[in-house]
Amino acid sequence: MTQRLHLVFGGELVDPTRNVFKNVDDIHIVGIFPDYASAYNAWKSEAQRTVDNAHTRYFIAHLHRLRDEEAPTSSTEELG
């Protein structure tokens, strides 16, 4: 069975209209989750906790979609 790991992270942005962090050293790593559903629940919890701060955003990164440097082509490249 293939694992589809997801990373949930976030922090304060320079401008709420862009995805540029104010200070990369202050990025909050919520965790790595074994499936999208549990990552979504963690993301939703953090997003709701920080809803009053328009400059704070949380994201879900699909770790399983990252490029595998050892493989001749990655699944991302095959998607076009």
8-58 pLDDT, tens per residue? 999 999 998 999 999 999 999 999 999 999 999 999 999 999 999 999 999
Is the distance from CB of 49 to CB of 41 less than 8 angstroms? no
What's the CATH number where 12 sits?
Answer: 3.30.70.2400
Expressed as residue numbers, the domain containing 67 is 6-79
Distance of CA 20 to the CA centre of its chain: 13
Q: Write down the pLDDT at residue 73.
A: 57
Block residue for tokens 């549990």: 38
Secondary element (H or E) of residue 10: strand 6-12
Q: What is the pLDDT of residue 11?
A: 96
Question: Checking DSSP bridges between strand 56-62 and strand 6-12, what pairing results, if any?
Answer: antiparallel
Domain count for the chain: 1
pLDDT tens digits for range 18-32: 999 999 999 999 999
pTM over 0.85: no
Domain for residue 1, yes or no?
Answer: no
Helix ranges (H only) for the chain are 36-49, 75-79
Q: Give domain status of residue 55, yes or no.
A: yes
Model pLDDT, residue 70:
63
